[in-house]
Amino acid sequence: MQLVFASNNKNKIIEIQSILPDTIKILSLEEIGCFEDIPETADTIEGNAILKANHVTEKYGYNCFADDSGLEVDALDGAPGVFSARYAGDQKNDDDNINKLLTQLSAEKNRKANFKTVIALNLDAQQYLFKGIANGTITDHKKGSNGFGYDPIFQPDGFDKTFAEISLEEKSAISHRAKAVKELISFLHTI
């Protein structure tokens, strides 16, 4: 089976392809000739995943899936949430986003947070949603050089390392994205 993954984020594509079985091949937006930025104007993570999947299906005619993820921090009432990628501005700079978050949490004792991923799958004129959540805490400084986004400051529950300190294989077993992708895979095996 071949599906378009509505992303040009090479890190995300590598991470998801490493989780999928060999029977599912994903194509990036670039591979189908989609070079425009798909608007992410919804006010929820679910809404943005749906917008991206619908864009590809309606404009290019492919079965596809799209994800949207966000970091939800308890002490900030769920922020940055849907604005995670552009928390410190439209330049979408990981370091700027991390620095802003660490500054906002500098005097905060409650550092509980979760990463949430929602995948919208458009398959044969039907839409399905899958969700994955990874609970953890925000560290007080960056640790590790693997991963991307908020990985250097997110320490998943049950670990003494951040997502940026563990291998891709370890992360793929426990991450929010991995959990949502595993739900997607389970569903695809039933059809």
Note if 22 is an active site residue.
Answer: no
What are the residues facing 137 on neighbouring strands? Answer: 112, 155
Confidence of residue 27 (pLDDT cuts 50, 70, 90): very high
Q: Which of 168, 165, 164, 134 is nearest to 150 (CA)?
A: 164
| Sheet strands (E) in the chain | 2-5, 25-27, 64-73, 112-123, 126-138, 154-156
Give pLDDT tens digits for 120-149: 999 999 999 999 999 999 999 999 999 889
Percent of the chain past pLDDT 90, that is, above it, reads: 76
What are the residues facing 5 on neighbouring strands? Answer: 65
pLDDT of residue 34: 94
pLDDT of residue 76: 97
Cα 50 from chain centroid (whole Å): 14
Domains of the chain, by residue range, sit at 2-189
Please give the DSSP secondary-structure letter assigned to residue 35: -
SS3 95: helix
Confidence of residue 169 (pLDDT cuts 50, 70, 90): confident
Which pTM does this prediction carry?
0.88
Domain made up of 2-189: CATH architecture: Alpha-Beta Complex (3.90)
| Catalytic option among 68, 96, 140, 160 | 68
pLDDT of residue 172: 84
pLDDT of residue 100: 97
